[in-house]
Amino acid sequence: MMLDPQHLETDRALLQLGKRLRADGYRFTCVTPATHARVNSRQGAEQARTLRDVFGWSRPFSPALLSADELGQLQRGHLVTEHGQLLHSTVRWSTLDDLLLVHSAYPTDASDAVFFGPDSYRFAQVIHDHLQRTPQRVEHAVDIGCGSGVGALLIARAAQHAQVSAVDINPLALRYTAINAALAGVSNVSVEPSDLLDGITGTFDLIVANPPYMLDLSERTYRHGGGSLGAALSLRIVEQARERLSPGGSLLLYTGVAMVEGRDALLEAVRLRLAGPEWSWVYREIDPDVFGEQLDERGYEHVERIAAVALTVTRNG
């Protein structure tokens, strides 16, 4: 896995920092933005006291809190901003089982923010369950909108003979995926810029995707799913996957759907697109109620709930 030559100093610093944190036994489970805000608003959480406060909870910290090596890596990579006498890391580090993953610091307001959170853990479980129960050998796989690279890394480690592509329209996501792959010691992942599957060729035994599914008025890349209530990108993935799955290959789509008066518009659209004997598919709710705070946003006035769902599509043949 090659790091981005245009950002080599920063990315090398991130990789070395990740190695140091892993050696120190660092662990952090990333939470929703709403939970993050609540925890950080508590008395005593104004300033970091531990590494988890610095690199998990994204709290401002005194330079003296870090070792000279850790602080040096942050400064060499231009990965800190100043807050008076304190500093603030521009990245977070979270763990998923034995993986350590770099992603954007809280709050993820930037248009090119790279998100990791509870959806990532649920997405990982969907992939794990599929790989455990399917007999299909994976030779060529792709993680669409890879973000921090979770999907690509899980597949690459489970199918070490496979060629795994990690694609995203966000250059920062591709850089973080490359760093996370290098940190995990995975060599069979390639990162490639692409708008869904438009930029790469071939067919795939396994396509996975955890796309943004919100209606985001700021249209941040990691969050805005398009359409009236965020489902447009998910449907584009289904449509492109139909054309690019190998016989016997599968699409694993983990996404969310805004429910209006008990109606699941995404499921209705999927039924139309996957009608006929060529496809076998299963659609299920993973969690009936996620990101409830989104219902306060403009555009969600008639939404009852947002459900996390998983769609598994297999091309028969």
Q: What is the pLDDT of residues 258-284, one digit of tens each?
A: 999 999 999 999 999 999 999 999 999
Q: Are residues 69 and 197 in the same domain?
A: no
| Residue 112 is assigned to a structural domain of this protein | no
For residues 89 and 147, membership in a common domain is answered with no
Q: Is residue 111 part of a domain?
A: no
Backbone φ, ψ for residue 57 (5° rounding): -85, -5
Question: Which range of residues forms the domain containing residue 87?
Answer: 5-104
Structural element, H or E, at residue 266:
helix 265-273
* Same domain for 235 and 125: yes
Q: Is 144 found in the same domain as 69?
A: no
User: Could you tell me if residue 113 is inside a domain?
Assistant: no
Reported as a single tens digit per residue, the pLDDT across 192-218 is 999 999 989 999 999 999 999 998 877
The three-state secondary structure class of 241 is helix
Q: Are residues 142 and 286 in the same domain?
A: yes
- Residue 153 makes CB contacts below 8 A (sequence gap 6+) with 99, 177, 180, 181, 184, 186, 189
- Is 34 part of a structural domain of the chain? yes
156/188 same-domain check: yes
Q: 286 and 258 share a domain?
A: yes
Asked if residue 127 and residue 99 are part of one domain, the reply reads: no
Three-state DSSP class for 167? strand
Task: Determine the pLDDT at residue 317.
Answer: 77
Number of structural domains found in the chain: 2
Specify whether 191 is located in the same domain as 310: yes
Q: What is the pLDDT, as a whole number, of residue 217?
A: 78
Q: Do residues 168 and 264 both lie within one domain?
A: yes
Residue 11 phi, psi (nearest 5): -70, -35
Segment 77-102 mean pLDDT: 96
Domain boundary among the residues 79, 104, 129 is at: 104
Average pLDDT, the chain: 94
23 domain residue, yes or no: yes
Q: Are residues 74 and 137 in the same domain?
A: no
Domain boundary among 70, 104, 138: 104
Domain boundary at 49, 79, 104, which?
104
In this structure, the chain runs to a length of 317
Here the CATH number for the domain that contains residue 231 is 3.40.50.150
Rounded to an integer, the average pLDDT of 73-94 is 94
Report the C-alpha gap between 303 and 85 in whole angstroms: 44
Residue 1's pLDDT is 61
Confirm if 22 and 100 have CB atoms less than 8 A apart.
Answer: yes
Q: 145: which 2 tokens? A: 């909108």
pLDDT for 224: 81
Same domain, 157 and 269: yes
